[in-house]
Structure 1
């Protein structure tokens, strides 16, 4: 059975990469017999090269992607250096889950309502007596600064979460103690000793953040510039052209987006090698102060980072703004609060919200449960046969542009007769949910003591009994949290639902993006607030179930210990 599940994982989560890549290469050369394009050529490449504003779109994409990735990495490192193993770190760690639970689309809508020229931030400034007329706006600005800042703030909690296990592996406390004995100040120890070990282990999260910044469509539609747009939005517009014979141009755009992403990842890898391995003089130059001077320098001239409150404050402001707009009936600028409230817009959209929520939750539960079964099967297969899926293969859906892969997969589905939109959308969600669930469960499975299984098997339990009666109670808290991660990833999927659903399957996310550029902010706020609440609900349920499972396991162990029979091997047990 485990062999079958492992092969099924390869079939559902790995093999789609082949048609995903071939499906953009072949149409790019204008060969689509179904559309009457039977003569290969390079006309689509010429059309893309001559597209007006293409260079500006590429520059905007690179600026927003590299800028957001650099800022998120910098913010993450500064927060870690300021709070790691300090009293405030526990509060930061507890705040990561709700921060990560908020989808990018909900955050982008709230960010736009907060920092738009008539947003709540400018209302506060107007009430303070400042004239904000003509001020720079962070929504759809021509340089993409608002998109850059929103992505950096949203990705910083993800980087912090990925850093927890990394810093635990490199044993920061021991390194700092050794560095202090050698005369390094706290700042120098983080910069010269911890950073060179932390950054290489954060390569995959940094790659994922960079790739998302290059290929993001939904957030760029809400916050990014429109004339010209980013390259991902431009390719998305080409893909939505009603004239199907223009699909080769969209295929070339997908190839261009994929090429830029690969070059960007290679550039990041080169920068890491150049700064950490080639130019190492800054690492081995030694401390700048003696031990006593370092202590005095640390106490008197400690550098103060504004703190993690900066990243918590924005979401804390965004959610109330969405709530106010969803119930606002009249809110004139520059009034700080609405003058009239109404629940009319919730009532007006209630029927649509029920249908969209049902679709979203159904897709999320099906794809996440399937991904959970496949992930557990792969981890058990690795434990039993010492063979596993390569890490780089699992990470491909995370680090390659979604638009490029999905375009090829959609072209491949054209060759399958029938309209199987629910099947294709569920498959696409599974394709992107599986890597996150696999990585979420990888750590707990590696830390599991295999001797427990060996003891259970020696007592007569078979493989399935051992998995269910021994390993399941121990792994259940991690499984609940991984399931919440998978559901939140599925709920946030925009491109897979739109492309493989052909617009026939609507979810809260697709409607939220469609309404974000509308004229009525109240309706947009309703969908944005609901889209942000759904993952938070599942994370709350997962945390509750995880704590209950841990408490139930402890109580069950205590009960078994108290109810143990006094007869062992047929003889009385004497204390």
Structure 2
């Protein structure tokens, strides 16, 4: 059974790339017989090359995508350098879950309501006497600075979470002790000793962040510039053209977007090699020689109070939620008033029926895709433990590092040739395709750290394979399973492009409606959808934590009852003839 699930997972991970790539290459050469295009040519490539503002869109995409990735890496490293193994690190670690639970769309809507020219931040500046007339706005600015900052703030917690396992593997405490004995101070030990080992371990998460920033559509629709837009938005507009004969132009745009993403990942890899392997003089030039005297030594002994560098990544998401709540209940809110002058439940009552239907669609898709992904991930990890053969890491990484728009465009073109209206099935399958890598990576670390000798001891005591897994291994790995399940649900709830493209507009979720409303509708209705879209993942994370605590308490109670049972007491005593 495990072997069959392993083979099915391999097919699930590998087969979609064939129609995904062929589905954009063949239409790009204007060959779509169903639309009457039977003569291959290069007219679509010429149309894309002659598009006005194409160069600006590409440069804007590179600036926002690579810029947000670089800022997120810098913020992540500074936070780790300042707080790793310190008393404040627990506060940072505990704040990661709520920040990761908030989807990108909900954060983007709240970010727009906070930093728009009529947002709460500008109202606060007006209340303290600062004139905001003509002040630079971060929302839909022509340089994409607001989009860059929003992506960097949202992706930094993800890099921090991925850094925990990397730093545990390289044994930071031992490295710092050795570096301190060689004369390196705290900053130098992190820069010259830990950074060269941390950065290669973070290669896959950094690639995932860069690929998302280069091809993001939903956040760009809410925060990004419009004249010209980013290249991903330009391809999305071409794709939504009502004239179907223009699909070859969209296919060429998808190919160009894929090429931009692959080229950017190559640039990141070359930059890492140049910094860490080729240009190594900054690593081996030894500790800096600083004259020390009594005054400097006393200054070093005095405790320093630093401004918490993780504060923006906690304060901004915390500020975003109250702003969404206020806008959802606001009936009258004039600028520059800090708070609404009138409140009303009218908009909640108006959208209640739609909210229940959309929430039901979102939850059903999330539970289906996450549960199937959990079963497949556990089966693959068990297969790797038994047969020492797992899914190749590059195959797991492809759905994370390839642009969704390019891949889904080809898959959707392929679904046109399959008769029948299987829209819900296609959407659920696409969610499963993108949820599985995140859930697999969430469970990979706990499965690797599991002591296999426990299974060997249980088998030696007479338990079979299933009993060993259920009674020994499952209780120890249950916290990771619950957390992975919550991660899968949050990833599914945040999927916009798979739902919109493979659902053909017939499957609506809270995410699709939030993006449609957040890019230019009534702020009150947009706040309602953004708030609910952000609350659902948080609810599932809370339920996962509660289920984990309840299961741990139930396991302890069961073990205590078994110890106190008369049979166990009698069996536990030695027998004499």
Q: Aligned with 1:566: secondary structure?
A: helix
Do the aligned partners of 2:380 and 2:390 also contact (CA within 8 Å) in 1?
yes
Give the equivalent residue in structure 2 for 1:39: 39
Distance in 2, matches of 1:368 and 1:441, equals: 13
Deviation per residue, 1:430-465 (Å, 9 max, x gap): 000000000000011111111122222233332222
Deviation of the 1:94 alpha carbon: 0.5
For 1:558 and 1:290, the matched residues in 2 are separated by 60
Aligned: 1:390 with 2:399: no
Aligned to 1:57: 57
SS of residue matched to 1:493: coil
TM-score (norm 1): 0.97
What are the Cα deviations for residues 303-346 of structure 1, in whole angstroms up to 9, with x where unaligned?
Answer: 94542112101011110000000000000000000000001100
Aligned residues of 1:207 and 1:265 also touching (Cα < 8 A): yes
Matches within 5 A, 1:160-559: 160-289=160-289, 298-299=300-301, 304=306, 306-559=308-561
Q: Go from structure 1 to structure 2 and tell me whether the alpha carbon gap of 1:295 and 1:544 turns closer, same or farther (over 3 Å shift).
A: farther
Look up the SS of the partner of 2:95 in the other structure.
Answer: helix
Match of 2:569 among 560, 566, 569: 566
In the TM superposition, residue 408 of structure 1 has moved relative to its aligned partner by 0.8
- 1:299 deviates by 5.0
C-alpha contact 1:162 1:205 (8 A) present in aligned 2: yes
Q: Does the 8 Å contact 2:478/2:548 carry over to 1?
A: yes
State the Cα deviation string for residues 128-171 of structure 1 (Å, max 9, x = none).
11110001000000000000000000001101101111111111
1:74 maps to 74
Q: Distance in 1 between matches of 2:573 and 2:110?
A: 69
Q: CA 1:540/1:570 → structure 2, altered by over 3 Å: closer, same or farther?
A: closer
TM-score of the superposition, structure 2-length normalised?
0.97
How far apart are the structure 2 equivalents of 1:172 and 1:190?
Answer: 9
Contact 1:106–1:529 at 8 Å: present in 2 too?
yes
Structure 2 gap segments, 5+ residues each: none
User: Offset at 1:287?
Assistant: 0.6
In structure 2, the CA distance between the partners of 1:395 and 1:298, relative to structure 1 (3 Å rule), is farther
Residue 296 of structure 1: how far off its partner (Å): 6.6
The 1:138–1:394 alpha-carbon spacing in structure 2 relative to 1, beyond 3 Å, is same
The DSSP-based 3-state class of the residue aligned with 2:331 is strand
Shift of 1:518: 2.6
Deviates more, 1:466-475 or 1:513-522: 466-475
Tell me if the contact between 1:115 and 1:122 (Cα under 8 Å) persists in the aligned partners: yes
The 2-side partners of 1:301 and 1:568 are apart by 59
Per the alignment, in what secondary structure is the counterpart of residue 329 of structure 1? strand
1:347-396: CA deviation from partner (whole Å, max 9, x where unpaired): 00000000000000000000000000000111011111111111011010
Deviation of 1:188 after TM superposition, in Å, equals: 0.7
| Equivalent residue, structure 1, for 2:145 | 145
Please tell me whether residue 115 in structure 1 is matched to residue 115 in structure 2: yes
- Report the Cα offset of residue 472 of structure 1: 1.4
Cα drift, residue 517 of structure 1:
2.0
User: Residue by residue, what CA displacement relative to the aligned partner does 1:222-278 show, whole Å, maximum 9, x if unpaired?
Assistant: 000011100000000000001111111111000000000000000000000000000
- 8 Å CA contact 1:180–1:291 kept in 2: the answer is no
CA contact (8 A) 2:455 2:472 kept: yes
Per the alignment, in what secondary structure is the counterpart of residue 333 of structure 1? coil
2:23 counterpart residue number = 23
CA distance in 1, matches of 2:520, 2:486: 31
Asked if 2 retains the 8 angstrom alpha-carbon contact of 1:402 and 1:495, the reply is yes
CA displacement, residues 106-129 of structure 1 (integer Å, 9 cap, x when unaligned):
000000000000000000000111
- Tell me the distance in 1 between the aligned counterparts of 2:576 and 2:451: 29
Alpha-carbon spacing, 1:565–1:301, altered in 2? closer, same or farther (3 Å): closer
Partners of 2:570 and 2:389 in 1: how far apart? Answer: 43
Q: Which moved more, 1:165-174 or 1:286-295?
A: 286-295
Give a deviation string over 1:471-497, Cα, whole Å, max 9, x none: 111111110000000000000000000
CA distance in 2, matches of 1:146, 1:300: 39
Kept in 2, the 8 Å contact 1:566–1:572? The answer is no
The one-character-per-residue Cα deviations of 1:483-540 (angstroms, maximum 9, x if unpaired) are 0000000000000000000000000000000001233100000000000000000000
User: Structure 1: where are the runs of 5+ without partners?
Assistant: none
RMSD: 1.8
